[in-house]
């Protein structure tokens, strides 16, 4: 196992990704690629495992993607040391607790660099008051082992939170520390060390920007909160309620006074900015107060749809964070009709996989 997580094996996979990315995007005029590497192990802040019951024993498993066979997981160097510690601590406590182990089929771990941990237990049964009592006892037992843990129980159409359903991350970015509330079952960047590098890159490529910033798909405010220092005003949009609530909290706790979140999709925002439709969710926000010249988009793997592409083209500067180089390629074919690529970066969010995270900055021709 340790041989897989060596400097040599990591550097080999990184070089392969660099070559693949350059080849895929070779039909564009590209500046020099900036490469941001990951720690070689213990880099993933989240991990999900199925739980296998065998007689009186139980243990974590994952399924091999090629063979579909189950693989017992006793240690997981991909995940943070905190998650590995929790994996070792929780199973003996569950093993002899019939209420907590009965019909338990999955455990999700969600950790932070700041030392907080959220554990979600998933069941094929309805959870009751007895489960709540035992889950609180489990939290106390884990605390005695030095684990700052909150627990969530999930079953069909049911969610029970033991205290809170979030963790508060603290990311040191350049000369500041940003606090991010991250809610269970909501999207967050999985590799915190690389996320810090992404934020530093985004800050550096937006230095001395003119006008205001607009961000689509802002999530919990990961980028917009860090970038607010480079703009007069920032307007960010997000459609998921849980992410909007997290973003609002993060704006307040980081004392950001020039950032506003609107719960709108990209299409709805376009209708609003063109005054084609009014939205109650924009109450208190005067869009005429914003002169957005820069737009940031961090879309899902499917990339940006055609309507949003046309929206992006109207801005002087586009910051595109991509988790899928194939859809990025397709989107760049359209965006480079009006914009040229000024900055090009690769972030190794997912070491030892084929996944590539890319950052591109385009400026209007």
What pLDDT does residue 265 have? 80
Residues 199 and 347 in one domain: yes
Helix (H) or strand (E) run with residue 361 in it: strand 357-364
Q: How many CB atoms are located within 10 Å of the residue 282 CB?
A: 17
Domain termination residue (choose one: 106, 136, 167):
167
Residues 150 and 205 in one domain: no
20 part of a folded domain:
yes
pTM metric for this prediction:
0.93
Q: Looking at 267, 293, 357, 363, which residue is catalytic?
A: 357
CA–CA gap between residue 192 and residue 170 (Å, rounded): 10
What pLDDT does residue 186 have? 87
What pLDDT does residue 177 have? 97
Report the number of distinct structural domains present in the chain. Answer: 2
Residues 35 and 131 in one domain: no
Active-site residue 357, yes or no?
yes
3-state SS, residue 77: coil
CATH number of residue 143's parent domain: 2.40.50.1070
CA–CA gap between residue 43 and residue 80 (Å, rounded): 6
Q: Is 236 exposed, middle or buried (CB count within 10 Å of its CB: 0-12, 13-18, 19+)?
A: buried
What pLDDT does residue 3 have? 52
Residues 152 and 299 in one domain: no
CA distances from 90 to 140, 180, 239, 336 (A): 12, 26, 35, 51
**How many C-alpha atoms does 75 have within 13 Å on its Cβ side?**
7
Q: What is 169-192 written as a DSSP string?
A: EEEEETTEEEEEEEETTS---SBH
Structural domain containing residue 84: 46-167
233 part of a folded domain:
yes
Residues 192 and 253 in one domain: yes
Q: What is 95-106 written as a DSSP string?
A: HT-HHHHTTEEE
Domain termination residue (choose one: 135, 167, 199):
167
Q: Looking at 169, 218, 292, 323, which residue is catalytic?
A: 323
Q: pLDDT tens-digit profile of 227-239? A: 999 999 999 998 8
Residues 19 and 80 in one domain: no
Q: pLDDT tens-digit profile of 334-348? A: 999 999 999 999 999
> Do residues 135 and 122 make contact, with C-beta atoms less than 8 angstroms apart?
no
3-state SS, residue 120: strand
CATH number of residue 258's parent domain: 3.40.50.150
Low-confidence ranges of the chain (pLDDT < 50): 1-2
Residues 130 and 19 in one domain: no
What pLDDT does residue 1 have? 47
Residues 37 and 50 in one domain: no
Active-site residue 323, yes or no?
yes
Residues 236 and 351 in one domain: yes
């Amino acid at each position: 196992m340790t041989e897989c997580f060596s400097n040599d094996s990591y550097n080999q996979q990184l070089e392969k990704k660099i070559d693949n990315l350059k080849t895929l995007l070779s039909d564009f005029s590209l500046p020099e690629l900036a490469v941001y590497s990951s720690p070689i192990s213990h880099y993933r802040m989240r991990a999900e495992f199925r739980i296998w019951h065998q007689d009186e024993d139980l243990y974590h498993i994952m399924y091999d993607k090629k063979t579909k066979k189950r693989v017992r997981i006793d240690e997981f160097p991909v995940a943070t040391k905190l998650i590995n510690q929790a994996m070792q601590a929780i199973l003996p406590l569950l093993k002899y607790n019939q209420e907590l182990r009965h019909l338990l089929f999955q455990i999700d771990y969600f950790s932070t660099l700041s030392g907080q941990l959220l554990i979600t237990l998933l069941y094929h049964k309805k959870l009751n008051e007895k489960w709540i009592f035992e889950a609180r006892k489990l939290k106390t037992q884990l605390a005695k082992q030095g684990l700052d843990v909150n627990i969530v129980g999930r079953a069909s159409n049911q969610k029970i939170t033991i205290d809170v359903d979030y963790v508060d991350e603290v990311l040191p970015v350049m000369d500041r520390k940003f606090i991010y509330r991250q809610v269970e079952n909501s999207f967050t960047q999985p590799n915190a060390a690389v996320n810090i590098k992404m934020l530093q890159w985004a800050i550096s490529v937006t230095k001395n920007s003119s006008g205001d910033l607009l961000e689509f798909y802002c999530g919990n405010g990961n980028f917009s909160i860090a970038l607010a220092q480079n703009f007069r005003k920032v307007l960010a949009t997000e459609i998921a309620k849980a992410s909007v609530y997290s973003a609002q909290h993060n704006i307040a706790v980081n004392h950001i006074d020039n950032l506003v979140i609107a719960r709108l999709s990209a299409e709805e925002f376009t209708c609003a900015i063109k005054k084609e439709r009014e939205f109650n969710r924009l109450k208190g926000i005067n869009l005429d107060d914003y002169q957005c010249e820069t737009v940031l988009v961090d879309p899902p793997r499917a990339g940006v749809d055609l309507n949003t592409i046309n929206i992006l083209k109207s801005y002087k500067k586009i910051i595109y964070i991509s988790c899928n180089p194939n859809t990025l390629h397709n989107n760049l074919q359209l965006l480079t009709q009006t914009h040229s690529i000024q900055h090009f970066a690769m972030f190794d969010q997912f070491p030892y996989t084929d996944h590539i995270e890319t950052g591109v900055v385009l400026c209007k021709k």
